[in-house]
Amino acid sequence: MSVVGTGYLGATHAACMAALGHDVIGIDTDPAKVAALSSGTVPFWEPGLDTVLQDSLRSGRLHFTTDVTEATDAAVHFICVGTPQRSDSPAADLTHVHGAVSALLPILTPESLVVGKSTVPVGTAAEIADHVAATGARVAWNPEFLREGHAVDDTLHPDRLVFGVRDAISEATLCEVYATLLADGTPLLVTDFATAELVKVSANAFLATKISFINAMAEVCEATGGDILTLSTALGLDPRIGPQFLRAGLGFGGGCLPKDIRAFMARAGELGVDEALMFLRNIDDINIRRRQHTVDLTIEALNGSARGRRVAAWGAAFKPDSDDVRDSPALHVAAALREAGADVVVHDPRAMDNARRLFPDLSYAASALDAARDADVVLLLTEWRDYNELDPAEVAAVTRQASLIDARNALDVDRWRSAGWTYRALGRPLA
């Protein structure tokens, strides 16, 4: 099989498919990326992926290339390229998807199966099927459900498999590809193209809704003196709701949820059902508002002005266990405070290099303690476990003021307050 696109999704999928016993060719237009992966180096941080990659390379079942013709004999071609937001609209940019299909056309045969894994607007699979029809090749859609920080486990032990197919041969081929996972009891849903495409975007829209809902409740708690942690615990005990994605805080970011809900809204408009998804606009607004609220709380803690004040920003990645800084709420807050005149010093256990490339004007520190040195306020912006392990008294000793804003509700409030810190968290009482 081939995997076209060796970014986060493609590299993970290629390495894991080889680990399952398949012969895999990873294809990418970027020679540097191909060279890195061929040497066993993962060009991003994902726990455990380096081991799977290196084992798969040593087995001889995996190699990478820039030459698509090396996949001529592959029976299955997975499309794993990015679908970013367009620069001129909220819609998804399908340039890479169409480019991947066009690159495959010369080697497709009636025995070929083109399988989409990229997150795409509903209707894309049907368009691709029309595009490849002259070759006799079949098309299927098999959406990914990877969580950054858990991608290897999510690939090798998924909570479900979804096959969007038009014929029994395509279904049988995918069953063969995933035979090990199906034998382990992974639930399988076989459906049409449109439903398979909608499963992924609907899941992301639902998760975004749940996160923004609890953040909206945090706003109400702040206005009334309520405690969002107690409220979210009570909600999570309801089996109809559940506790996941009910941690109030700075909100979501990354390369999936923000752009996916916007693309979903844009596609709904194209289909004439935009009213059905109008609520997602509010979801997006609530999420963005948390970033500005954190900036406002910080300036309030600095007595109304950030100019000339030193701010420690703990966290740069959009979530822990990742070095992904795309649409990172943490960096958005840090950059906004710098724009307001603050001297902002950032620390992150894994995302420092990516943060520097995206925001070279920010300052960076080698440790959380160094970032906090002489700080007037410390911000917890990404909930890395590393920050929970810090000694509050040791941190207080190096700051100018022991003032902390926990924008992720991740730290032990009693532990930090007992060490003399002025502790503020989103959606929680002041004392």
- Give mean pLDDT, residues 208-222: 97
Catalytic residue (one of 16, 80, 221, 256): 256
Q: What is the pLDDT of residue 344?
A: 98
DSSP secondary structure letter of residue 17: H
pLDDT value of residue 430: 82
User: Side chain identity at 265, as an amino acid letter?
Assistant: M
Domain ranges of the chain: 2-190, 192-431
Instruction: Tally Cβ neighbours within 10 Å of residue 305.
Output: 11
CB 294 within 8 A of CB 336: no
| 400 within 8 A of 376, measured Cβ to Cβ | yes
pLDDT band at 431; cut points 50, 70, 90: low
170 CB-contact burial (10 Å; exposed 0-12 / middle 13-18 / buried 19+): buried
- Tokens coding 279: 């609520």
The pLDDT value recorded for residue 277 is: 97
Instruction: Give tens-digit pLDDT for 333-358.
Output: 999 999 999 999 999 999 999 999 99
Mean pLDDT of the chain: 97
Q: Please tell me if the domain spanning 2-190 has the same topology as the one spanning 192-431.
A: yes
Rg of the chain in Å (alpha carbons): 23
256 has catalytic annotation: yes
Assign domain 192-431 to its CATH superfamily: NAD(P)-binding Rossmann-like Domain (3.40.50.720)
Q: Residues 289-317: what's their mean pLDDT?
A: 98
* 104-105-106 Cα angle (round to 5): 95
For every residue of 212-244, DSSP letters joined together read HHHHHHHHHHHHHT--HHHHHHHHHTSTTT-ST
d(CA 285, CA 76): 41
368-399 pLDDT, tens per residue?
999 999 999 999 999 999 999 999 999 999 99
C-alpha distance across the termini of the chain, in Å: 59
CATH code, 2-190: 3.40.50.720
Residues 257 and 207: beta-carbon distance below 8 Å: yes
Give the strand pairing for 188-191 and 422-425. unpaired
Asked whether 310 and 345 are in contact (CB, 8 A), the reply is yes
Judge contact between 364 and 313, C-beta under 8 A.
no
How does pLDDT run across 1-16, given as a tens digit for each residue?
Answer: 999 999 999 999 999 9
Residue 136: which H helix or E strand, with range?
none
Structure tokens at 94: 């399908």
Q: Which residues fall within 8 angstroms of residue 339, CB to CB, at 6 or more apart?
A: none
138-141 sheet: strands from edge to edge:
62-65, 24-27, 2-4, 76-79, 113-116, 138-141, 161-164, 188-191
Spatial distance between the Cα atoms of 402 and 382, rounded to a whole number of angstroms: 19
Tell me the pLDDT tens digit for each residue of 138-195.
Answer: 999 999 999 999 999 999 999 999 999 999 999 999 999 999 999 999 999 999 999 9
Q: pLDDT by residue (tens digit) across 257-273?
A: 999 999 999 999 999 99
